[in-house]
């Protein structure tokens, strides 16, 4: 196996992207994007911590939990999770506040990729947007869109994500509490190795 260390070596292995793939990037929320966001119940946020390391974190909610404020601004509700606050700390402490979001809608094999910047606000000015949810968010992330595009269905089709047949039965996978407990023990046993 040989490490690829130059852009020339990398691009020599793949055909040039078709113009459609390059031209599909847009800077504003169009009707298709707004519709997809109204169906979206799962997203993965990517931020960068002050040390320059990338962090990804899943978020979910009822369909439409990501709210459209205008053609280039989204509001992302933040609820009490595990209280690590990794995403929020990264936004707060990052010099450029860059953020990426990958959005999923159940049953749709295309995904929506968003790139932009983020700021954290209290929810007081936007409570009405989240009134149909059982729980009000503690705060909101205001996401300022720079670019977006739809990603083709190849990855989700390969993963068979929305098909029931590859689902792993709950009894075949340990609980999250067992996993965390085992990992804590593993870390303690291997601390000085």
Domain segments of the chain: what residues?
23-161
Query: What pLDDT is attached to residue 9?
Result: 92
Query: What pLDDT is attached to residue 169?
Result: 75
- Strands (E) across the chain are located at 42-48, 54-60, 67-70, 73-78, 98-104, 111-122, 139-151
> Measured between alpha carbons, how far is 92 from 25 in angstroms, rounded to an integer?
27
Name residues of the chain where pLDDT drops below 50. none
Query: What pLDDT is attached to residue 103?
Result: 97
Residues near 63 by Cβ (< 8 Å), separated by ≥ 6?
38, 39, 40, 41, 105, 106
162-173: pLDDT as tens digits: 887 767 777 778
Query: What pLDDT is attached to residue 176?
Result: 81
- Domain spanning 23-161: which CATH class is it, in words? mainly beta
pTM of the predicted model as reported, rounded to 2 decimal places: 0.86
Query: What pLDDT is attached to residue 166?
Result: 66
For residue 178, with 0-12 CB atoms within 10 Å meaning exposed, 13-18 middle and 19 or more buried, which class applies? exposed
Q: State CA 72 to chain mean position distance.
A: 17
Q: How many CB atoms lie within 10 A of CB 81?
A: 13
- Coil/strand/helix, residue 21: helix
């Amino acid at each position: 196996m040989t490490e690829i260390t130059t852009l020339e070596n990398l691009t020599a292995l793949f055909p040039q992207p078709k113009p459609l793939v390059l031209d599909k990037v847009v800077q504003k929320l169009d009707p298709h994007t707004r519709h997809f966001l109204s169906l979206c119940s799962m997203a993965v946020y990517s931020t960068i911590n002050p040390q320059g390391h990338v962090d990804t974190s899943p978020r979910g909610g009822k369909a439409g939990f990501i709210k459209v404020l205008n053609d280039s601004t989204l509001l992302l509700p933040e609820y009490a999770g595990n209280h690590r606050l990794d995403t929020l700390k990264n936004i707060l402490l990052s010099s450029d506040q860059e953020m990426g979001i990958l959005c999923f809608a159940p049953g749709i094999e295309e995904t929506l990729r968003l790139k932009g910047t983020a700021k954290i606000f209290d929810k007081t000015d936007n409570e009405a947007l989240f009134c149909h949810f059982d729980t009000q968010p503690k705060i909101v992330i205001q996401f300022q869109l720079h670019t977006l595009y739809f990603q083709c269905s190849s990855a989700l089709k390969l993963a068979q994500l929305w098909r029931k047949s590859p689902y792993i039965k709950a009894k075949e996978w340990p609980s999250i509490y067992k996993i965390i407990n085992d990992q804590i023990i593993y870390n303690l046993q291997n601390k000085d190795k």
